[in-house]
């Protein structure tokens, strides 16, 4: 037992992706070494282990989509999945996290014991992992693929059908007639790569999305040399952070009463008309009817150009079924296809959808969230002591990694303080939980997110509350995790 600590806490971290690694490092910084990282996959990486489809890369700049405590020699302004996965391996090995990881351990149940005041975690292997002082959930909310209803029925389509988050190494689009369902962030990346190698690409679009240029490129050799210098790296990161912080102040980008939203809409329309100037026939079907930022804005330099290829056909309809030859769209037209890529997103409103959590008196967290997920600062729910959620409700914002670090530091500091003072139980005050969520929803009600049907909201009901988005600047959140930590929680 470490000097000055009343007991040694034992922690379970669920997930070995970005947020799970952030949590583990934060515990280590607090001198907590007794933790286990339970990962359902065969290796670490989370999103960047699963999303390996052609063209997969991050929408954020590499320097801001990385940990503040670990620099890296990035080759591109926006890293691809190979490089991001290599970065996470680098960080995990540098901080000696791999020995803590248990792979192929899919968590199924997290259960609080009122009698023992601790948790047990049941996994797919039925291994007895022992008891845990606290649990940090680092599974995010984009982890359960959303698949079209027609896949539940029997069909005669003989070719491969694959969701982008379940891409297989044996899939090859070369020379194939490829159907892509969806026009979101992953879809535009797949379409760009498919256009290069496929014989034909058919894009099925239910609705168009707002799009802005990404301005992605390789770093020059000179830039890479400069980026290896710590002050330059820090400057790049700070400049990016500051820009996002200003943009998201009071959620200005997502409010129609703020000029920034109109400014971004004009920029998106100008980009569309500039790129499609020689294809006026596509302008109407590519212009969204919902407000700018109402859904996740797509960032791409290449999608519009790919659509203009003679090999690419844009079908402004959903797919309603499959045949032996391909897909049947909502108008009943059949499209010949060799393979189908589902870029259909995730069941994002179902937080912690891959396992159950029971708290005090056996209360089920998902039942508690029947009207939509909510948590104090996205991390803590009354009645579920010592349970912390990384990237939880209302914490979806740019830059994500800064939030992961703040959440990890919040949880690690409380766990360490409890261990120092001999307290076993960490709770969020119900009053703080209520006031915080009322404040968040009042802010969010002023945004376009509240009036646009999307995965940002609880279910498809237009009266559903916004459950994923953060309604203020990143700095507001980072400060809240520091200054409200003691005020909003109790140790007993």
Pairing of strands 11-14, 134-137: parallel
**23 and 109 housed in the same domain:** yes
What CATH number does the domain containing 439 carry? 3.50.50.60
Question: Residue 323's domain spans which residues?
Answer: 149-342
Tell me what percent of the residues of the chain surpass a pLDDT of 90: 93
**414 and 395 housed in the same domain:** yes
**330 and 367 housed in the same domain:** no
The last residue of one of the domains, among 296, 317, 342, is 342
Per-residue three-class SS string for the chain: CCCCCCCCCCEEEECCCHHHHHHHHHHHHCCCCCEEEECCCCCCCCHHHHCCCCCCECCCCCCCCCCCCCCCCCCECCCEHHHHHHHHHHHHHHCCCHHHEECCCCEEEEEEECCCCEEEEEECCCCCCCEECEEEECCCCCCCECCCHHHHCCCCCCCCEEEHHHCCCCCCCCCCEEEEECCCHHHHHHHHHHHHHCCEEEEECCCCCCEECCCCCECCHHHHHHHCCHHHHHHHHHHHHHHHHHHCHHHHHHCCCCHHHHHHHHHHHHHHHHHCCCCHHHCCCCCCCCCCCCCCCEECCCHHHHHCCCCEEEECCCEEEECCCEEEECCCCEEECCEEEECCCECCCCCCCCCEEECHHHCEHHHHCCCCCCCECCCECCCCCCEEECCCCCCECCCHHHHHHHHHHHHHHHHHHHHHHCCCCEEECHHHHHHHHHHHHHHHCCCHHHCCCCCCECCCCCCCCECCECCCCHHHHHHHHHHCHHHHEEEC
The last residue of one of the domains, among 342, 364, 394, is 342
Q: How do residues 37-63 score in pLDDT, each as one tens digit?
A: 999 999 999 999 999 999 999 999 999
Q: How far is Cα 162 from Cα 173, in angstroms, rounded to an integer?
A: 12
**200 and 335 housed in the same domain:** yes
Q: How far is Cα 333 from Cα 335, in angstroms, rounded to an integer?
A: 7
Tell me what percent of the residues of the chain surpass a pLDDT of 70: 98
Q: How do residues 309-348 score in pLDDT, each as one tens digit?
A: 999 999 999 999 999 999 999 999 999 999 999 999 988 7
**228 and 278 housed in the same domain:** yes
Q: How do residues 253-262 score in pLDDT, each as one tens digit?
A: 999 999 999 9
What is the reported pTM?
0.96
The last residue of one of the domains, among 287, 312, 342, is 342
* Residues 292 and 212: beta-carbon distance below 8 Å: no
Mean residue pLDDT of the chain comes to 95
Q: How many domains does the chain have?
A: 2
Q: What is the pLDDT along the chain (492 residues), one digit of tens a residue?
A: 555 789 999 999 999 999 999 999 999 999 999 999 999 999 999 999 999 999 999 999 999 999 999 999 999 999 999 999 999 999 999 999 999 999 999 999 999 999 999 999 999 999 999 999 999 999 988 778 889 998 988 899 999 999 999 999 999 999 999 999 999 999 999 999 999 999 999 999 999 999 999 999 999 999 999 999 999 999 999 999 999 999 999 999 999 999 999 999 999 999 999 999 999 999 999 999 999 999 999 999 999 999 999 999 999 999 999 999 999 999 999 999 999 999 999 887 789 999 999 999 999 999 999 989 999 999 999 999 999 999 999 999 999 999 999 999 999 999 999 999 999 999 999 999 999 999 999 999 999 999 999 999 986 444 479 999 999 999 999 999 999 999 999 999
């Amino acid at each position: 037992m470490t000097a000055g600590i009343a007991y040694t806490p034992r922690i379970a971290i669920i997930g070995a992706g970005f947020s799970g690694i952030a949590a583990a490092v934060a515990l280590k910084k607090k001198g907590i070494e007794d933790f286990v990282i339970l990962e359902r996959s065969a290796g670490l990486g989370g999103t960047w282990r699963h999303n390996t489809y052609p063209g997969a890369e991050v929408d954020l700049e590499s320097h801001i989509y990385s940990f503040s405590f670990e620099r890296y020699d990035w080759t591109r302004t926006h890293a691809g999945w190979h490089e991001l996965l290599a970065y996470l391996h680098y960080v995990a090995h540098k901080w000696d996290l791999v020995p803590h990881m248990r792979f192929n351990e899919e968590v199924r149940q997290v259960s609080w014991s009122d009698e023992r005041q601790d948790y047990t975690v049941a996994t797919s292997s039925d291994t007895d992992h022992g008891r845990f002082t606290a649990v940090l959930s680092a599974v995010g909310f984009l982890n359960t693929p959303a698949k079209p209803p027609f896949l539940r029925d029997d069909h005669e389509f003989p070719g491969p059908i694959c969701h982008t988050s379940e891409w297989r190494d044996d899939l090859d689009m070369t020379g194939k007639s490829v159907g892509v369902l969806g026009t979101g962030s992953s879809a535009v990346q797949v379409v760009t790569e498919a256009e290069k190698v496929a014989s034909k690409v058919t894009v099925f679009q239910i609705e168009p999305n707002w799009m802005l240029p990404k301005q992605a490129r390789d770093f020059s050799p000179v830039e890479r040399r400069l980026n290896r210098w710590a002050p330059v790296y820090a400057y790049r990161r700070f400049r990016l952070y500051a820009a996002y912080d200003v943009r998201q102040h009071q959620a200005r980008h997502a409010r129609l009463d703020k000029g920034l939203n109109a400014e971004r809409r004009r920029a998106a329309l100008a980009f569309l008309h500039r790129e499609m100037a020689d294809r006026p026939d596509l302008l109407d079907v590519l212009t969204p009817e919902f407000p700018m930022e109402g859904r996740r804005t797509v960032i791409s330099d290449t999608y519009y150009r790919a659509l203009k290829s003679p090999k690419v056909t844009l079908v402004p309809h959903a797919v309603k079924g499959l045949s032996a030859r391909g897909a049947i769209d909502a108008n009943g037209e059949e499209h010949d296809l060799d393979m189908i890529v589902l870029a259909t997103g995730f069941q994002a409103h179902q937080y912690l959808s891959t396992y159950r959590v029971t708290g005090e008196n056996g209360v089920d967290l998902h039942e508690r969230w029947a009207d939509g997920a909510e948590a104090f600062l996205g991390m803590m729910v009354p009645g579920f002591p010592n349970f912390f959620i990384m990237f939880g409700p209302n914490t979806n914002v740019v830059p994500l990694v800064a939030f992961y670090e703040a959440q990890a530091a919040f949880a690690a500091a409380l766990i360490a303080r409890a261990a120092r003072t001999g307290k076993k139980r960490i709770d969020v005050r119900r009053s703080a939980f209520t006031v915080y969520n009322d404040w968040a929803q009042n802010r969010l009600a002023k945004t376009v997110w509240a009036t646009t049907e999307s995965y940002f909201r609880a279910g498809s009901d237009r009266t559903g509350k916004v459950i994923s988005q953060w309604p203020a600047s990143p700095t507001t959140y980072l400060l809240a995790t520091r200054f409200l930590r003691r005020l909003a929680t109790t140790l007993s």
